[in-house]
Structure 1
Amino acid sequence: MTSWVVLGLSIATVLLLLGAFVATMRQDRKGRTSAPQAEVAPAEPPLAAPVRTEPTHVVAGYDDPRDIRVGDRVEIHGTRMRVLGALHVSLQGKTWTELLLQDRARRTSQWLSVEVRQGLVTGDPPHLEVLLWTEVPTQGMVPAKSMLIMEGVEFFPVERGTAAFRSEGDTGRPERGLMDFADYHAADGRLLSFERVQGTPWTASYAQPLPPGSIVIVSHAA
């Protein structure tokens, strides 16, 4: 009789353990089934190859001022000049070139600046700015941080700073150095710029914008 009681208790214990195990497995499966699936990030498309964008005002059929090199001969508004030298200037990621031109017939020289400028508004295409500079006497003037008057015209400040430059050919400048500049504009659109290599006096020049087709490269240097 005692052995039957013990056997019955053992069987009951086994059944209880089996029931607990089965319930645990069901709960575990239920928990795994209801768990949220991990999100998979969509594959990003590959970046497109960079496309070189030409600035506006580079017109097909006309010479590109960016192709002018030291020793070339150019013609501007019917006047032929020789490129004596070039200043390659950089300032905070911006670069531009200033070319020294000589008119042998008139025994005069002028600077020609060539720069690709970004649009004033986001999304506007870059444009090529080509300016012909004519020096004017400063009579000891220095660039003011506010409005100044030059030859009776009021000029207002636009930009000023210090840029690094590298000289090529005959420019009358050191091989390398720093150049201070201060740019102004008048209400009628005139441009005025002060410039100096550090340690030298200021010089001032008026700028004349050149439209596309104004420059003809007559011949390249050998």
Structure 2
Amino acid sequence: MSMTSMVVLGLSIATVLLLLGAFLATMRQDRKGRASTPPAAVEVAPIETPLPAPVSVSPGHAGSDYTDPRTIRVGDRIAVLGSPARVLGAMHISWQGHQWIEFLLRTASRRVQWLSVEVLQGEPPQLEVLLWNDVPTQGMVPAKSMLIMEGVEFFPIERGTAAFRSEGDTGTPDRGLLDFADYRASDGRLLSFERIQGSAWTASYAEPLPPGSISIVRRAS
């Protein structure tokens, strides 16, 4: 082999080795970059509360496949989320043209709860049904700004004084005035303070009920 051929062969081998080295270096760089890239954060979907059901303004037309809670009467035996309860009484409340009903229930375990039923104005109107659970307030009064209840921040959304009339066993006068203050947390939770004028404040959390959560087991005689 001539000297020129040996030089050309040597240069070719050197070029191949340089290209191979560059390729391997690039691969190492790419792997290092992927390994050091932090994984994308996993987004957690917020807890969604049931939406109110579209209804007509007239009671009895909430839907063909579930009971209209507006047809509940004092003395009825009903089931809420499958759990039996008796309707002890009702408060019919009116405030600035808005009207809603709060039913006092006694469950099979002798627990007492309030169930509120209200038609929210809109197109179409929406039926909102809330089951309320007492909160120990320990002498708290509703603030006009943000308040913290059990470590959760609640912000005011509505407050006022409503007129009411009661029927059945509610533990309230036949007629009177009801002060209320409603709050909402950033996660959608509802908190409400209420008091019959002259009485102490009580507070409750609201649990929105989806359509079909209530059924009437037996009507009052």
| Range class of TM-score, shorter chain | 0.7 to 0.9
The offset of 1:60, in angstroms, is 1.2
Equivalent in the alignment of 1:153? 152
**Matched residue type, 1:136:** V
Q: Is it true that 1:113 corresponds to 2:116 in the alignment?
A: yes
Partner residue of 1:98 out of 94, 98, 102: 102
CA deviations 1:80-123 (Å, max 9, x no partner) are: 000000000001111110000001x312110000010112xxxx
Partner residue of 1:77 out of 69, 72, 81: 81
Equivalent in the alignment of 2:23? none
TM-score by length of 1: 0.72
Q: How is 1:1-222 mapped onto 2 (pairs within 5 angstroms)?
A: 54=56, 58-103=62-107, 105-119=108-122, 124-222=123-221
Secondary structure at 1:66 match in 2 = helix
Aligned length: 164
The offset of 1:125, in angstroms, is 1.4
Distance 1:170 1:151 in 2: 31
Distance 2:207 2:134 in 1: 11
CA deviations 1:24-76 (Å, max 9, x no partner) are: xxxxxxxxxxxxxxxxxxxxxxxxxxxxx716x92212110000000001101
Structure 2 unaligned blocks of 5 or more: 1-54
CA deviations 1:111-160 (Å, max 9, x no partner) are: 000010112xxxx3110010000011000000000000000000000000
Secondary structure at 2:70 match in 1 = helix
**Matched residue type, 2:98:** K
**Matched residue type, 2:56:** E
**Matched residue type, 2:136:** P
TM-score by length of 2: 0.72
**Matched residue type, 1:210:** L
Distance 2:76 2:214 in 1: 12
RMSD: 1.2
The offset of 1:77, in angstroms, is 1.4
Secondary structure at 2:212 match in 1 = coil
Rg: which structure is higher? 1
Q: Identity rate of aligned residues, in percent?
A: 71
Structure 1 unaligned blocks of 5 or more: 1-52
